[in-house]
Amino acid sequence: MEKNLENYRKSYDKSELKEENLLANPLDFFQKWFNEAEESQLVEEPNAMTISTVGVDGFPKNRVVLLKKIKTEGFVFYTNYESEKGKALAKNPKVCLSFFWPALERQVIIKGEVVKISQQESEDYFNSRPEGSRLGAIVSHQSSPVPNRSYLEEKLEELEEDYKNKEIKKPEYWGGYLVKPFSFEFWQGRPNRLHDRFVYELSKEKKWEEPIRLAP
């Protein structure tokens, strides 16, 4: 089966990105764009980000996860440490994040390395989650084969009964990562495919260098 998509066309003309609009710290500029995505009410999940890892099999893999915190050190997300993603990060902590906000014709690509956050921070977030999400983290041995969906639903029902009037503790294998960035690329769609692209790089002295404009 073939499907020709060559006639898909879109003109990008909603905004522009000029040198004078950039900030010295790319994390501050990311926060500005993130706030604008939130305030626009056009982006359903502005914190949805694609994270790319290199798996233990040597192949890259992308998946969408949710950003849960922006810190001065970087970006925090949560997952199962024993999942395919967790095993990939244990072997190679280098990652690439991508935020795409099509309603604003904007994309941000961030390269960095992950470190685990503290158990206390992970526990605080875990305890803030709805009960169903906490139990789901215990039920699901993420990335492991299961016979069918009924198996998971039955396990959840069992846990709901077991944990009635009991504290639901965070599993040891579940927690957060901090992505510590060393590169930011900001992309703003423009007419005639002459998009605005700027990249920031972290110097050896751990200071952000001046942003560089890239050809689209």
Q: Which of 128, 111, 37, 125 is nearest to 74 (CA)?
A: 111
Scored b (16 or more CB within 10 A) or e, 148-166 reads eeeeeeebbeebeeeeeee
Could you report the per-residue pLDDT of 16-50, keeping only the tens digit for each?
A: 999 999 999 999 999 999 999 999 999 999 999 99
Could you report the per-residue pLDDT of 70-95, keeping only the tens digit for each?
A: 999 999 999 999 999 999 999 999 99
C-alpha gyration radius of the chain = 20
Instruction: Determine what percent of the chain is predicted with pLDDT higher than 70.
Output: 100
Contact 103, 48 (CB under 8 A): no
Domain annotation for the chain: domains and CATH numbers: 19-126+173-214 (2.30.110.10)
pLDDT reported for residue 161:
85
pLDDT reported for residue 23:
98
Please give the model's pTM, rounded to 2 decimal places. Answer: 0.93
Which residues belong to the active site?
193
**Cα-based distances in Å from 185 to 27, 96, 108, 162, 201:** 11, 11, 6, 48, 9
| CA–CA dist 95, 154 (Å, integer) | 35
Confidence band of 103 (pLDDT split at 50, 70, 90): very high
Taking residues 89-103, report their average pLDDT.
98
| CA–CA dist 47, 101 (Å, integer) | 10
| CA–CA dist 46, 41 (Å, integer) | 9
Could you report the per-residue pLDDT of 178-189, keeping only the tens digit for each?
A: 999 999 999 999
Scored b (16 or more CB within 10 A) or e, 118-140 reads eeebbeebbeeeeeeebbebbbb
